[in-house]
Amino acid sequence: MTEKDFIPKTYNNFIESGSFTWSSPSNIALVKYWGKKENQISENPSISFTLNDCKTTTKLSFSKRENTDSFSFEVFLDEEKKDDFKPKIETFFKRVEVYLPFLKDYHFKIETSNTFPHSSGIASSASGMSALASCLMSLERSLSEVEITDKYFTQKASFLARLGSGSACRSLEGDLVVWGKHKEIDGSSDLFGTKYPYEVHTNFKNYQDTILLVDKGEKQVSSTVGHNLMHGHPFANERFKQAHQNISSLMKILKLGDLDAFIKIVESEALTLHAMMMTSMPYFILMKPNTLEIINKIWAYREKTDSKICFTLDAGANVHVLYPENECEQVCEFIKNELVAYCQNGHYISDRIGFGAKLL
């Protein structure tokens, strides 16, 4: 597939007005995307667990209009008008207009809500952009005279979501999604996310992710600024190579169910992401003291109990605690007794892996 394959032929069906509602989850990367080329193409392949409960629901209502030389839309979060969201959506519409030529023919009302609080420090861009992209694909499917297959629908929704926010392209399906060309993974592409196509051991089924909210404030470094810091970064090329190797290693681990090896890759990836930010110019420390407290507690607990618990991080201070389903009871006790104290206002979110976007 190339970009051109996502430019539609003419639409023949006519629709005056209507609406579509989709929900789409967040995702958590095991091998991280950090650093991008032009047009939101990642410098290296990444792989993530799709989440289940952290999600955005978006209703896209549309009505035909006369004036077609600009985009026309309004945005609501939890029923409240959000004009400050408009520039991001305007940029998204501009980027995808060539792939969705009907965008200026309609007025859109975008009503969105998240299952997680907006100020939780959990980025809503992955779930939000994938939900919006799915709604737009539903409209394209209705307008299109030629049949749009489910495969094309998902690929193009992922392709569009990527143009909104890179990692959003990994939220359409589950439970494991790869984005970025990797030589050992058939069908992997720089343009969109694809469901991991190989055997996965039952150890990794229904994996749990408890998100510890250490810092619920605004991100200290936006991901756009963060990705840019990889341009000219002295260790960037080695890092991009390492991501390819880590995915190759992870493929074996996923097949064999090797939880100890899984932990090593996942924790190393999280720390490498942060190391990249500490060694860029300008440099940033995105962890907080409580992030480190939690990491040390997790290591001590693992040492003491032989648990397969581990952590990963996004570009911020919150900690994703990952563990197999069969450890739920003990690990939840441990989290409540020993880790919650390090969360801002004691807040955390219990999630697990899920299967992607859904039409409601």
- The site for ligand PMV (CB under 6 A) is made up of 29, 32-34, 46, 123, 125, 165-167, 223, 273, 314-315
SS3 of residue 103 by DSSP: helix
Rg (CA), the chain: 20
Instruction: Please compute, for residue 181, the number of CA atoms within 13 A of its CA located in the half-sphere on the CB side.
Output: 7
Q: In terms of CB distance, is 314 or 351 closer to ligand PMV?
A: 314
Q: In terms of CB distance, is 273 or 331 closer to ligand PMV?
A: 273
Q: In terms of CB distance, is 140 or 215 closer to ligand PMV?
A: 215
Q: In terms of CB distance, is 27 or 57 closer to ligand PMV?
A: 27
SS3 of residue 120 by DSSP: coil
CB of 239 vs ligand PMV, minimal distance in Å: 12
CB of 46 vs ligand PMV, minimal distance in Å: 5
Q: CB within 8 A of 67, min separation 6: which ones?
A: none
CB of 167 vs ligand PMV, minimal distance in Å: 3
Spatial separation of the C-alpha atoms in residues 56 and 178, rounded to whole Å: 21
Q: In terms of CB distance, is 33 or 204 closer to ligand PMV?
A: 33
Furthest C-alpha separation in the chain: 68
DSSP H helices, the chain, are 86-96, 125-143, 150-164, 223-228, 236-256, 259-278, 289-305, 328-334
Q: In terms of CB distance, is 36 or 352 closer to ligand PMV?
A: 36
CB of 82 vs ligand PMV, minimal distance in Å: 19
Tokens encoding 156: 């193009």
CB of 159 vs ligand PMV, minimal distance in Å: 14
Phi then psi for residue 54, to 5 deg, are: -80, 100
Partners of residue 209 on adjacent β-strands:
322, 351
* Residue linked to tokens 């900690």: 319
CB of 227 vs ligand PMV, minimal distance in Å: 6
Q: In terms of CB distance, is 138 or 318 closer to ligand PMV?
A: 318
Tally Cβ neighbours within 10 Å of residue 181: 16
349 neighbors 213 (Cβ within 8 angstroms): yes
Q: In terms of CB distance, is 272 or 330 closer to ligand PMV?
A: 272
CB of 180 vs ligand PMV, minimal distance in Å: 10
Spatial separation of the C-alpha atoms in residues 64 and 53, rounded to whole Å: 34
CB of 208 vs ligand PMV, minimal distance in Å: 19
Spatial separation of the C-alpha atoms in residues 30 and 212, rounded to whole Å: 17
Amino acid of residue 239 = R
